[in-house]
Structure 1
Amino acid sequence: MTEPTSANADREVLQMIPKPATAPEIGPWLWAMEETRRGLLRTVRGLEQDALDWRGASGEDNSIGSLLYHIALVELSWLYEDMLLVEPPADIVALLPHPSRAPQGGLQHVESETLAQHLERLEKARADFMRHLTPMTEADWHTFREPPDTDYAVTPAWAVFHLVEHEAGHLFQIREILRRWRAQERAAP
């Protein structure tokens, strides 16, 4: 690996450094998960409760808090239901007291949870995810799982790709919600 040759010490250096993993192929994907999470954490840093709970001008949109909850829930769902094929332990179940979906079918609105609560949930979910994926062998990484009561088979490799894509999509959505939130705050009398 070579270092940048520019004399500009203020230059941002962008590189991928794989996370340690038993199988080298897994490390770059775990890095991608962590890089996406870094972007999410930078985006929500310092948000106040009213911004977390805001549901758009109509009052019907997903809130940032609901999306943060959903990101953790989906990560753990893919881990336990689709990759490990086991029920999550009690401490993981306790992280997720709300259902995934509201009765109308949209995401469950998660209101009045502080940013600290959301960040703790995301941190615990990710630590548990990494604890299970880091020691995975390359063969296991590519072994199909067939979750009960589903119409698909999935490898951990694909599931991790999907989780990177999923979180990146919601990160974009959260940034757009924040843009609209800040615009309406500036426009308020």
Structure 2
Amino acid sequence: MLERKVLLVSSLPEYEEEIGRLLWCLEDVRRTIITRLIGISQSLIDRKLGERQSIGTLLYHIALIEADWLYAEVLETDWDPEISALFPLEHRTDGNLSHFEGESIEEHFYRLNKVREVFLSHFRSMDLSDWRKPRVLE
């Protein structure tokens, strides 16, 4: 018999419960990504897999999209310059994700963690009314 793991979703402390539960899920996925990538070689981080993106490109993209969602859609404001400086490359080139290479896994983790730190800080003070507010995008 295959042993099944149980996933128990809790709310992150210091957040409205509904918000904290969804943020806990984001944190759980992030823990899984980081745990699986600890110790990965630089050649694996940078290597494109056929027509697919490299791990480094995907890590860059994950952090960028999380920051963009926070600033463009949730806060509806300009990016913090400190966060913007973490993204020297354009998001896409010729319709594809821009290839990103040459950074260590620790540098990728720093970017992911810095964006998440700012991300979580903004939700800590958010109430349910603002959380549930529909946002109209262009």
Same fold (TM over 0.5): yes
Q: Give 2:131's aligned amino acid.
A: W
Contact kept in structure 2, 1:21 and 1:136, CA below 8 Å: no
Following TM superposition, by how much is the alpha carbon of 1:14 offset from its aligned partner in structure 2, in angstroms? 4.2
What does residue 80 of structure 2 align with?
89
Quote the Cα distance in structure 1 between the aligned partners of 2:15 and 2:33: 27
Tell me which amino acid in the other structure corresponds to 1:106.
N
Partner of residue 122, structure 1 = 112
Do structure 1's residue 61 and structure 2's residue 52 form an aligned pair? yes
- Matches of 1:25 and 1:111 in 2, distance apart? 37
Consecutive unaligned residues in structure 1, runs of 5 or more: 1-11, 151-189
* Separation in 2, partners of 1:98, 1:46: 25
What corresponds to 2:33 in structure 1? 40
Q: TM-score, normalized by length of structure 1? A: 0.68
Aligned length: 135
Q: Which aligned pairs between 1:104-143 and structure 2 lie closer than 5 A? A: 104-143=94-133
State how 1:1-189 maps to structure 2 within 5 Å: 14-56=7-49, 58=50, 60-102=51-93, 104-147=94-137, 150=138
Q: Which amino acid aligns with 2:128?
A: E
The residue type paired with residue 70 of structure 1 is H
CA distance in 2, matches of 1:50, 1:124: 24
CA drift of 1:16 comes to: 2.0
Q: What is the deviation of 1:37?
A: 0.4
Shift of 1:13: 6.5
Aligned partner letter, 1:112: G
Q: Which moved more, 1:38-47 or 1:13-22?
A: 13-22
Q: Structure 2-normalised TM-score?
A: 0.91
Aligned equivalents of 1:81 and 1:27: distance in 2? 21
Q: Distance in 2 between matches of 1:28 and 1:93?
A: 28
Moved over 3 A (4+): none
RMSD: 1.6
